[in-house]
Amino acid sequence: MSELTILFLLLGSFSGFVAGLLGIGGGLIIVPILLYLLAPSIDQSILMHTSIGTALAVIVFTSISSLYAHHRHGAILWRNFVKLTPTILVGSYSGAILAKYLSFDFLRVFFALFEICVALIMWFGISASGHADKLSRWVWSFAGYVIGLISAMVGIGGGTMTTPFLVYNNIQIKNAIATSAAVGMPIAIAGSIGFMVAGSSQVLQTGGIGFVNFEALITIAASSVFFAPLGAKVTHLIDSNKLKKGFSIFLAFLAAMVILF
C-alpha cells in the first residue's frame, strides 16, 4: 500500500467521522486536502477541478448511508425532495460544466470564500427562522437550481444551503436536515457525472475519467462510509455547540490553505 493511498484512507476516515459528527458534508474537508495530495501528479490547471469532481463522486457513496439512516427514522420529507430535485439535477450538472471554463485561481478563491462563510455561520450559530409563507413552485425550482449550481462548483452535498432554505419554509430542523441529506445524493450524482463529462475531452490526465480521480474516489469513499456512523454515535456524547466553534476554526484554516496554495 503506497503512502498516498494511506493518506487517502486517513482523509476519508476523518471526513466521514466529521460528517457524521456535525452533519457537515465531507466536501469541505476533502477538497482542500485533495488539492495538496493530488498536486504532484496532476497539472495545476485542472487540479482544483479534479479535487472538486472527486469530492462529489465520494459524496455519491457517503450519501447512501446517510439517506438510508434518515429514511429509516421517517425524517425525510419526500414531497419537498421531489420539489427540489429536478432543478437541483440541472443546476448541479450545469455547475460542473461551467467549472470547466473557470480558471484554477477562480475556483480556488470561490471555494475558499464559501468555506469561510460556512465557518462564520458555524462560529456565530447563525440559522434560518421559519417564517415564510407557502412558497411558489417557481421559488422551489429556482432555489433548487442555485443550490445545485453552487454545490457542484465547490464540491459539497448542498446541506449548507438546503437546510436553511427548508427551515425558512417552516420545516422542522430535524426534517430539514434529513431532507437535505437526501438531496445530497442527486447533487453528487449529477455533479460528478458533469465533471466526468466536462473533463473527458481534455488531454491532461487525472487518473480516472474526466475530472474524477479513481484511486482517491475508491479509498476515500471506502473509509468515509465506515467512519460516518461512528461520528453519528459520538455526536450524542459531546457538547456540539463547543465542537462547532472549534470546527469553524478548522474550516477557516482549510480555507487559508486553499488561498495560500
Q: Domain-by-domain residue ranges, the chain? A: 3-259
Q: Are 52 and 211 in contact (CB under 8 A)?
A: yes
**Do residues 148 and 90 touch, judged by C-beta distance below 8 A?**
yes
Cell of 191: 455533479
- Residue 240 confidence (pLDDT): 66
Strand 212-213 relative to strand 208-209: parallel, antiparallel, unpaired? antiparallel
CA distances (Å), origin 149, targets 108, 142, 155: 16, 11, 10
- pLDDT on residue 30: 96
Q: What is the structure's pLDDT at 222?
A: 93
Supply the pLDDT for residue 146.
96
Q: What is the pLDDT of residue 135?
A: 81
Q: Residue 3 is placed in which grid cell?
A: 503512502
Q: How many CB atoms lie within 10 A of CB 6?
A: 11
Q: What is the largest CA-CA distance in the chain?
A: 56
Residues of the chain scoring pLDDT < 70 = 23, 25, 132-133, 235-236, 240
- The total of other beta-carbon atoms located within 10 Å of residue 204's CB is 12
Say what the pLDDT of residue 54 is.
97
**Buried b / exposed e along 58-70 (16+ C-beta atoms within 10 A):** bbbbbbebbbebb
Give strand pairing partners of 213. 208
Q: How far apart are CA 88 and CA 252, in angstroms?
A: 27
pLDDT in tens, 77-124: 999 999 999 999 999 999 999 999 999 999 999 999 999 999 998 888
